[in-house]
Amino acid sequence: MKNARQISVIIFALLVLLQSLIAPILLTSDASAREPIPQADIESEAPSYPIAEASFVAELPQTEEPPAKEPPRPQEPPPREEPPIAEEPPAQYIDLEYAYTLFDDIGGVQNGTVGPEEVRLLYQIDDWVHIDTAYGPGWLYMPPPPPPRVALTFDDGPSTHTRRLLTALASRRVTATFFVVGWRVTENPEIAARIVEDGHEIASHTYYHPLLTRISANHFRGELTRTHNAILAATGAEPAPIFRPPYGIHNRMARNVAAEFGLPLILWSVDTRDWETRTVEGIMSHIVDGDGNLRIRDGDIILMHDVFGTTVDGALRLIDLLLEEGFVFVHVSELLESQYGTLQPGAVYGRR
């Protein structure tokens, strides 16, 4: 028992001694563990494994508020097309008088106060004209002027010569007005019917072609009634509501009776005197003057008679000439209505 106690004391003494020897070592080791390791030592000690490059970079979510959306802007109209500007003025004829008239018609500058002395036309491209005015340069839309129009009228038919005339008119696509006499319509109903079928205008020229100043009102009424019925029977259509007095002569009685029938009196402005000369040259002398100038003007009513072969020849000559000059042939009622509006019964249009 005594020996065991001695052994315990010895072991305890050895442990105290061992602790006193080990404690400084542990304190030194702990202090060195708390000191930062130099970066060079870390890099030298780190393993030399290859580092893979990142294929994408993750972004943190936005913490800022998104900008406010702008209100939609109104859609702008498409840009206005401006007329082209020529590098050089084209060699094109400009009708100055027509340009000034049109310029005033559309208001011009300051309500049409610009006159010929204040407008200078520089050049034209298609339907656009470049102008220079006292108020500055600009473009003026100037479409070409409308073509001149005439009415070709034939009296006293229909006759056998009317057939050839109708064929020639059809080949040229020209329209005309025929003032027919009733007895010839009765004798040539198929020709009268063809006049209507071909799109021409047919109207009364009395039945027997009397001088109206030498007959009574009742006689004149009978002339108009018989001619109207003859045209209706031959063509199946009502005649045009116009009338041409024989020889172009009329008086108050004639105008009053015509008004009863709802008929205005239609005369002419160009007399070819075809019934007098009976030659193509004689007819053309009333169409072209001695200097070669055209006598026909826009709005003219031409008088001819389709009862002569020379009239047909002369008509074709003048038709071809007027077509070359740009004229358009229309019915006489259409021509006059474009000038005067609704034609009044008993009124006289044209001149002898």
Which residues are the active-site residues? 155, 305
* Burial of 332: CB neighbours in 10 Å, binned 0-12, 13-18, 19+: buried
Structure tokens at 223: 């002339």
Q: Are 269 and 284 in contact (CB under 8 A)?
A: no
| Other CB atoms within 10 A of residue 324 CB | 8
Per 3-state DSSP, the chain is made up of helix, strand and coil in percentages (nearest 5) of 40, 15, 45
Rounded alpha-carbon distances, angstroms, from residue 203 to 41, 46, 237: 127, 122, 11
Structure tokens at 273: 């005197």
Alpha carbons 162 and 191: distance in angstroms, whole number: 7
Q: Are 222 and 260 in contact (CB under 8 A)?
A: no
Residue written as tokens 């542990």?
26
Q: Are 184 and 191 in contact (CB under 8 A)?
A: no
Rounded alpha-carbon distances, angstroms, from residue 227 to 22, 78, 154, 185, 311: 157, 63, 16, 8, 24
C-alpha angle 95-101-107 in degrees, rounded to nearest 5: 135
Alpha carbons 227 and 247: distance in angstroms, whole number: 17
